[in-house]
Chains A and B, each alone.
Chain A
Amino acid sequence: YQTFYGSPRWNKKYLTYKIVNYTPDLPREYVDDAIRRALMVWSNVTPLRFKRVTSGQADIMIKFARRAHGDGYPFDGRGGTLAHAFQPGEGLGGDAHFDDDERWSKYNQGVNLFLVAAHEFGHSLGLAHSNVRGALMYPLYSYVNPETFTLHWDDRRGIQKLYGRNSA
């Protein structure tokens, strides 16, 4: 695993997230659930806790967008880059953006939203890319069944290096 330069991390245990908009590809309830489960991937192994907010700003702002979307890192249409997220910090820090030119999917008919979101939230929390194939933070998309997904040891070691273990 790798962390970003200077190992930025959140200096608090309780983080907020907000789903700014939705993809037309999936029912809203599924997007809500995929995002919640993707954050749980990380809260299950650390002391971090996430709370959803629906108004104002949140630590992690989540949105779907196409092409240029105001952050200086335009998306590239279908394929290629699927999503990106920013390391912990103020403003854009922690935010996660998903390319709405992709076909987002509950399973593997398109790009699985849960798997990509869990990866992006790793960045939101301070993990960079791993070069361990099979790790969630490996940069290439690969489908695994989200219902049997387990966090790879490399990801667990990385996030626990930043935040410690879940004592509960």
Chain B
Amino acid sequence: FPIPLKPALWSNADLDIVQTYLNKFFPLLEKHPAISLEERIKEMQKFFRLTITGKLNAETKTIMQQPRCGIPDVAN
């Protein structure tokens, strides 16, 4: 099972930003139904060629807040 993130590391606002963004632009695929939030952030960071940390660092948050197209970034 994915290891749950420690709540202390995430504010509610951050968690909301991340989950909304990932659900919209990096939705879970049927073949990977149970990957952790950290893995999903890594997938997003890999797509945008950011430093892969699995954490909502400033670089990642900046990308998430930029204006963009509404189509998901994973082709499937």
What class of interface size applies to chain B in its complex with A? 10 to 19
Choose, from A1-9, A20-28, A53-61, the stretch at the interface. A1-9
By the criterion CB–CB under 8 Å, are B71 and A140 in contact? Answer: no
Beta-carbon contacts under 8 Å, A77-135 to B: 79-85, 102, 111, 116, 119-120, 123, 128-129, 131, 133
Does any Cβ of A come within 8 Å of B49's Cβ? yes
Interchain pairs with CB closer than 8 A, number: 56
By the criterion CB–CB under 8 Å, are B73 and A129 in contact? Answer: yes
What class of interface size applies to chain A in its complex with B? 20 to 34
By the criterion CB–CB under 8 Å, are A82 and B70 in contact? Answer: yes
By the criterion CB–CB under 8 Å, are A139 and B68 in contact? Answer: yes
Contact with A along B16-53 (1 / 0, CB 8 A): 00000000010000000000000000000001110000
| 26 contacts across the A-B interface (CB closer than 8 A) | A2-B75, A4-B75, A5-B76, A79-B67, A80-B67, A81-B67, A82-B68, A82-B70, A83-B70, A84-B69, A84-B71, A102-B67, A123-B71, A128-B71, A128-B75, A129-B69, A129-B72, A131-B48, A131-B73, A133-B49, A139-B25, A139-B68, A140-B63, A140-B66, A140-B68, A141-B67
B interface residue numbers (CB < 8 A to A): 25, 47-49, 63, 66-73, 75-76
